[in-house]
Amino acid sequence: MPENLSDTRGESRQSFYAKQQLIASAKLTFQQLAAVIKNATVYPGSHPFLLAAADQLLARISELMLTRKEVAFYLVAGELFFDTYSVPVDQGFAILMEQITSRDVGGVIFKPGLSKEEIVAFAGLMNKEASSFAGSGGLSEIAAKHGITHIELHRVLFVDKKFGKTVKDTKKKAGEVFMDAVETVKELVESVHLDKTFNMRKVNALVHTMVDTILEDRDALMGLTSIKMYDEYTFAHSVNVAVLSIAQGTFLSFDKPQIAALGVAGMLHDIGKVNIPLEVINKPDKLTDQEWEIMKRHPVEGALILSDVQAMTKLAMVVAFEHHQHGDVRGYPRFDDIVQQHPFSQIVAIADSYDAIVAARVYYKVTTPPDKAIRILLSKRGTAFNPVLVKAFVNMIGVFPVGTLLKLDSGEIGLVTHQTRDLMRPRVLLLTTFDGSEKNDRNAEVSLLETERGRYKRSIRGTIDPGGTNVDLKKYLS
């Protein structure tokens, strides 16, 4: 690719890794907070071990305060945020988050002037019985009674469903956005065939709508990628890759313009296939060596097509060219020298591979279960794919992605609707009528984290291929 792309690559990589370092630092800070709260259950407030742990936490907070006026953590719907950045949650974090939110605390903000004594007092406060927070006045008043003046507490954020519905009614539903995207990809393909001008204004507007939809409710649009569109696989695949790439960008806390650029690149990554014969694209059998060489031309064809489009981003060209340049010997186009893929190309490559694994084609409707697809991706960490990005993708999408149909040990059938802190135990909608009406039953959605007498109430026995059942996922996910 042209040398003038190097500056763009450098700036994007620098921004990407700077954010990851900040998120990693925030994660370590919250981890240290967890250690202090745990130690406070064992040691008295004046114990040197507890004070040393508080000192370490204070040092981490002070380091973060070098670039901001305060250090704020928010706990929203099972997710942890540092400022506006999503922080990956592990089992230890999840336990602490539940402990904090059960005391009606949804935000913890550390202010300048904080002392280790206040940190110890806060740890003691978080270890008090949750019932002691009921009817005790405001959280600030509770904190002040314990000598905590430089830690600001906020109540758990509850979403007003009626208000949320009013807002959503003024916007397009996720299903409408998804189908608009499919139609737009069709128009783009037709434009190339007829040698017409790309409508980039429409593409950019659509991608920004997709970004807004995912930022509002990531699962709503991601769930639609699990619906098999046999007759429109080529178009749906491009949209699925865009959705998964945008979702990964939000999960990695990219800036909104970067997420939108990533979405455009994901949507156009396979545009070069319009110059590949349909008999090669749709061949149900294994390609011959000659046909494989033809197929491998599509990244170059895509970059050339996009280079002629006015207002096209350079990153979209780079991703179209690089998305098959995996780290293994099967990557293409091949070069004598080792080529470092742009981070966006690596993200799109993972989304592209995942969707290709789970997809059903018009000529081959047997699908690979999502959990098996995840295991395939994990097996290729460090070879075909960036291991850090694969881990982030799995943490985002879950082992059982939204839209996966599950067989439970209770004999029930569940449809995955949301992820939880435990990737093996998502939230599911229990299907009983199989006509979509379960969506309106508030009690039909349960978490597989629920326990009874110290045991999980439900566990996963396996996955079910919707194609072999009478379950129409469109009724639940559209």
356 phi and psi angles, rounded to 5 deg: -65, -35
CATH number for the domain harbouring residue 343: 1.10.3210.10
User: Which domain covers residue 440, as residue numbers?
Assistant: 405-477
pLDDT at res. 170: 40
* Cα–Cα dist 15/139, whole Å: 37
In a domain, 12, yes or no: no
Residues contacting 57, CB < 8 A, separation 6+: 29, 32, 33, 35, 36, 116, 119
The DSSP code for 156 is P
Degrees, nearest 5: CA angle 119-94-242: 120
Residue 204 burial (C-beta neighbours within 10 Å; 0-12, 13-18, 19+): middle
In a domain, 329, yes or no: yes
Domain match, 337 and 424 both: no
Domain match, 335 and 428 both: no
306 phi and psi angles, rounded to 5 deg: -70, -30
Domain match, 203 and 146 both: no
In a domain, 228, yes or no: yes
Tally of helices (H runs) and strands (E runs) in the chain: 19, 12
> Which amino acid does the sequence have at 132?
S
Domain match, 177 and 300 both: yes
Rounded to 10°, the helix 387-397/343-358 angle is: 50
Domain boundary among 124, 155, 186: 155
In a domain, 252, yes or no: yes
For residue 425, what are the CA distances in angstroms to 195, 196, 408?
49, 49, 11
In a domain, 6, yes or no: no
Domain match, 388 and 247 both: yes
**Comparing C-alpha atoms, which of 271, 394, 269 is closest to residue 323?**
269
Domain match, 385 and 439 both: no
Domain match, 243 and 347 both: yes
In a domain, 256, yes or no: yes
pLDDT digit string (tens) for the chain, length 478 residues: 444 444 444 444 445 677 778 888 999 999 899 889 988 888 888 888 999 999 999 999 999 999 888 999 988 766 788 877 778 766 567 777 877 877 778 888 999 999 999 999 988 888 887 666 655 556 667 788 888 889 888 876 544 434 334 334 445 688 888 889 999 999 998 888 888 888 888 999 999 999 988 887 777 788 888 876 655 777 889 999 999 999 999 888 888 899 999 999 999 999 999 999 988 888 878 889 999 999 999 999 999 999 988 888 899 999 999 999 876 556 888 776 666 889 999 999 999 999 988 876 544 455 788 888 899 999 998 888 999 999 999 989 999 998 899 999 999 999 998 888 788 899 999 999 888 888 888 889 899 988 888 889 999 999 988 777 778 888 887 6
Domain match, 261 and 189 both: yes
Domain match, 190 and 249 both: yes
In a domain, 377, yes or no: yes
Number of domains in the chain: 3
Residues contacting 452, CB < 8 A, separation 6+: none
* Cα–Cα dist 197/311, whole Å: 11
Domain boundary among 139, 155, 171: 155
Domain match, 29 and 138 both: yes
DSSP string, 267-293: HHTTGGGGGS-HHHHT--SPPPHHHHH
In a domain, 409, yes or no: yes
Q: Are 458 and 410 in contact (CB under 8 A)?
A: yes
pLDDT at res. 138: 60
Q: What long-range pairs does 141-147 form, CB within 8 A, spacing at least 24?
A: 146/121, 146/122, 147/117, 147/118, 147/121
Domain match, 27 and 132 both: yes
Domain boundary among 397, 422, 446: 397
Domain match, 94 and 172 both: no
Q: Are 268 and 316 in contact (CB under 8 A)?
A: yes
Strand partners, 213: none
pLDDT at res. 90: 65
* Cα–Cα dist 52/13, whole Å: 37
191 phi and psi angles, rounded to 5 deg: -60, -40
pLDDT at res. 15: 59
Length in residues, the chain: 478
Would the CA dihedral through 356, 358, 359, 363 be positive or negative?
A: positive
